[in-house]
Chains A and B, each alone.
Chain A
Amino acid sequence: MNKNTDNLASTDASASDALLSVQDVSVHFGGIVALDGVSFDIPSGQIVGLIGPNGAGKTTLFNCISRLYDVNWGDILFNGESILKSPVHRMSEIGLGRTFQNLALFSNLSVLDNIMIGGHSTAKSDYISNALHLPWIKREEKELRKRAFEMLRFMELEDTALQRIGGLSFGIQKRLEIARALLSRPKLLLMDEPAGGLNHNELSLLVDTIRRIRDEFGTTVLLVEHHMGVVMEVSEKVVALNFGRKLAEGPPAEIQQHPDVIEAYLGTGKK
């Protein structure tokens, strides 16, 4: 807890060097307003939680940040530059990695191949050099494979390397998604409901993993999460959404006590 408040104090003073800055973002689907003028910053090196009841717009915002959805209004800055003009596949290269709410591994490939695709943007061999297997390809492949094995070791999954995705448990697949996203060496890791469907042991492993990712790789983490226990334990800052608007933003302890957040989750019956 001490550490959390320390971090917050330091980042409040220097809000301008936010790694990601969401500025007045609105998204409409037909007549439905999914996001309505949402703004917040993610300071470099922090673990930030994004919470809200179902339909609050969390996943929509998430998909805007990873460029799967277009925003109708507002801007999203990464490292001080707008990302809204760049295509989806550029995100990994500039340092935005992500995991998916429902598993999105490549189901017909081996674990190793899945992880290596995570490092696609860190390699550069082209169609022709690959087709002819030019000598320098070997070095690149070896390097990428080595990094993939290291990442599997980091996630304590090295034994699965040569298995197919299909036979692995849900919890292991969730961890593999994290490993895959990390292979692109992201500056910001977006995690979409990493705790969803995990059992008790896997949950505590997840909290530990998120901290290790930040501490060992210096990766900033944004997680969308339903599981309040996980968010409040691991986050240094929490942003709460409801009906597409930002309700509150602050340290977990503060958000837990925030009347609007409590109302959104439990309802007060007044209104």
Chain B
Amino acid sequence: MATDVETRMDTNMEAAAKIPFKWVIPFIVIGAILPFFLGGYATFQGTLIMIYAIAILGLNLLTGFNGQFSLGHSAFYAIGAYTAAILVYHLDWPVYAAIPVGGVVCFFAGFLFGLPALRLEGLYLALATFALGVSIPQVLKSSHLEGLTGGVQGLDVFRPAVPAFLKENFGITMDQWWYLIVFVVMLLLFWVAWNLINSRTGRAMMAIRDNPIAAKSMGVNSSLYKSLTFGVSAFYTGIAGAMAAIVIEFVAPDSFTFQLSILLFIGMVVGGTGSIWGAIFGGFFILTVPNFAEEISTGLSYAIFGVILILVIYVMPSGFAGLVNLLRVRIKNML
């Protein structure tokens, strides 16, 4: 009897925090071959969905897992995008090197913003990040920075050609090439997020979210984890912004308005707050649904988007990830 309990426990101990490969491997295979079946435009859309998914995952690490609100992630997206664009446009950096630098710059920006944010809780933090989000487009347009940012006109970024051997041997197009790059980066960042969440660090992040006083009493250095998480969240969003700048081949201040922050927030909630893979659905939602609403009626597109949003939240109160979990449990119980 006792041995039975113990073996069960040992298997539980081993089973904890393992990547569910039976779901992940088919996903990777399908994701990798998809651009070879889709047209150029659909592949490009798929690339944007993945970029949004990375940004949403960044926001989710901060809000969903650590309990800090941000309505200013468009700012980090912009900083990532402009860092990459400036490096490529002014300094002729290779685009592949500009992407990680965009992320690292955002890490420091996020970490520094996270320090004063330690004193702000809940709604007040939402207001402070809101201020950050609305100020960035103006800063980018300002005449003092025009030489660097290109002002209202923005900057053009040109992508280098697809590596010759891939182009000649496999006929890979520019859209397919960048789809695959973004896909690999996304997988890497999802893997890192998974590692974080299922570790001592992730437990500390979630403990702070659930009960900050108890977390501190358990020895969690809440200030350190909160500001580092702010940095990591901004890093994700910055990487997404940098890749967006290069994939779209253009940056301009009005691509990074406060509305983008709200879209990322919506993507997070719809995908599932506190879910890692839900971010992909969130990215899909915020890219396709506004376009869909626009197709129905240009004049009333926001109203239609709002109605769809309410319906979605009604059907999936804990996001797409929550719905899938619920269905999985139901099916398991039926069998």
Contacts and interface: CB of A to CB of B under 8 A. Distances in A.
B213 A104 contact: yes
B101 interface: no
Contacts of B211: 104-107
B202 interface: yes
Given A88-B217, A91-B217, A130-B201, A162 B12 contact: yes
Contacts of B196: 127, 130-131
Contacts of B228: 127
B153 interface: no
Nearest to A104: B214
A145 interface: yes
B54 interface: no
A168 to B, nearest CB: 15
Contacts of A144: 200
A244 B196 CA distance: 45
Contacts of A145: 13, 16
B218 A180 contact: yes
Interface residues of A, number: 45
Interface in A64-94: 66, 68, 87-93
Contacts of A208: none
A91 B232 CA distance: 27
A106 B210 contact: yes
B92 to A, nearest CB: 31
Contacts, number: 111
B56 to A, nearest CB: 18
A89 B9 contact: no
B286 interface: no
B201 A131 contact: yes
B328 interface: no
B199 A137 contact: yes
B203 A109 contact: yes
B210 A125 contact: no
Interface in A89-144: 89-93, 98, 100, 104-109, 112-113, 116-118, 120-121, 123, 125-127, 130-133, 137, 140-142, 144
A248 interface: no
Contacts of B51: none
Interface in B203-236: 203-204, 206-207, 209-211, 213-222, 225, 228, 232
A146 B219 contact: no
A123 B200 contact: yes
Top 5 A-B residue pairs of the complex, sorted by shortest distance between their CB atoms: A121-B219, A92-B219, A130-B199, A104-B214, A106-B210
